[in-house]
Structure 1
């Protein structure tokens, strides 16, 4: 078994263990399709450093050209979270229109302790709060954490601290005319990623509204 096969095998074992823990301690649900989805997404993330030939051999090939523009009159908000040991959590959000122009971006940084999934959910809530503050009515919320995005698409409920964040997300969704959640690969979410890791670190929220065309 080659190195990449070993990595995929270990990734599968980890995904099964992760789903088992969630079923026992959080939502009580065991579904094989969620494990398969998680394995696929993790392999896609790891494959970012593989050559094109390696990606083709292992069936991990990009089926699109990167970040996609939203439909006319809609806005797409990309979000990401950074959990930095001994520092805190950073939440980044960037909003673009159907021409690919940056409408606004924002970052919130704090010292609260969260696990990565909770931080991703908090980043989504942060992005939606900023969209509401900017009076955006039709929003596509996009992130690279497949488990959290899938939970929100299914409006999943359960026990545990992450579901308290989900409940806040469901509540704020009522203030939008149109809202949807989509997953994207990490390498198509780089601006939000950089915002979440923004330096210098500054506790609180920083916002930047834009009125000019910006690179995607």
Structure 2
């Protein structure tokens, strides 16, 4: 499956789902749309806990999660009102919730692309890598998911995900790139251009050397909740497989996250 995108639109009725969502959007008020999207998000979270972590999931747990997300969203909206009422002054003690982190996804500038990546390491199940690239309108341009048989420590796997993402960006001719990862150790090593004599720093050096082929590369640390698309991709493929996709062949596993991320992006 190396380098082959899967046309999901043909297989699961993409156009029909899109038309249904557009109809719902026209009929609902703003508050109802928020509740709808929170419900979708909570159901998807519970689905992943059941599928990947084998946790027990029931309707009551989903409802509790919806209420929790709604409270967090209310806190974020309240904070926004506080910022607006402060006459442009930054609020010194800023409350940061999980929902705020997810909503804080920022679209890149017009000449830039933003690339998110993640790695997932599970004993006996190899190492999964996920990469997604989006443009200034928040639209997915391309992405990839890959699972290797080898298993590395987490920070090396996260650095490998960055290296794969940057190589793909170079092949596609991007010049201004924002690289986002939820691995703080990797981002700090790249920002400070750290060096060392172990396998981790060998990958870091490969990444920094590759940066010479770009006009500008910016490193950014983000929360796991803000990196949901790449995170899901890192758990998608089976061992030994690789899937590369573009805007017309987005894998089903990230379709909902793509919609939600773009809805909340700025």
TM-score (norm 1): 0.69
| Paired residues for 1:24-103 under 5 Å | 52=72, 61-62=96-97, 65-103=103-141
Equivalenced residues, count:
166
Q: Distance in 2 between matches of 1:153 and 1:89?
A: 25
Deviation for aligned residue 1:205: 2.8
The alignment yields a C-alpha RMSD, in angstroms, of 2.8
Deviation for aligned residue 1:160: 1.1
Deviation above 4 Å: which 4+ runs of structure 1? 211-214
- 3-state DSSP class of the match of 1:121? helix
Q: Distance in 2 between matches of 1:106 and 1:123?
A: 10
Deviation for aligned residue 1:91: 0.8
CA deviations over 1:84-104 (Å, ceiling 9, x no partner): 110100111000001000000
Deviation for aligned residue 1:66: 2.5
- 3-state DSSP class of the match of 1:174? helix
Contact residue 101 and residue 212 of structure 1 kept, 8 A: no
Q: Counting strand residues as a fraction of each chain, which structure ranks higher? A: 1
CA deviations over 1:13-72 (Å, ceiling 9, x no partner): xxxxxxxxxxxxxxxxxxxxxxxxxxxxxxxxxxx99x759xx9xx85246632111122
Q: Distance in 1 between matches of 2:108 and 2:119?
A: 22
Deviation for aligned residue 1:105: 0.8
- 3-state DSSP class of the match of 2:188? helix
Contact residue 143 and residue 183 of structure 1 kept, 8 A: yes
Match of 2:242 among 184, 205, 210: 205
Q: Distance in 1 between matches of 2:112 and 2:242?
A: 24
Q: Which ranges of structure 2 fall in alignment gaps of 5 or more residues?
A: 1-67, 80-93, 251-257
Q: Distance in 2 between matches of 1:90 and 1:61?
A: 29
Deviation for aligned residue 1:212: 9.4
TM-score (norm 2): 0.57
Q: Give the structure 1 partner of residue 169 of structure 2.
A: 131
| Paired residues for 1:183-194 under 5 Å | 183-194=221-232
Q: Give the structure 2 partner of residue 107 of structure 1.
A: 145
Q: Summarize the Cα distance change of 1:60–1:173 in structure 2 as closer, same or farther, 3 Å threshold.
A: same
Q: Counting helix residues as a fraction of each chain, which structure ranks higher? A: 2
- 3-state DSSP class of the match of 2:213? coil
Q: Summarize the Cα distance change of 1:118–1:84 in structure 2 as closer, same or farther, 3 Å threshold.
A: same
Q: Distance in 1 between matches of 2:215 and 2:105?
A: 23
Which is further off, 60-69 or 179-188? 60-69
Contact residue 80 and residue 144 of structure 1 kept, 8 A: yes
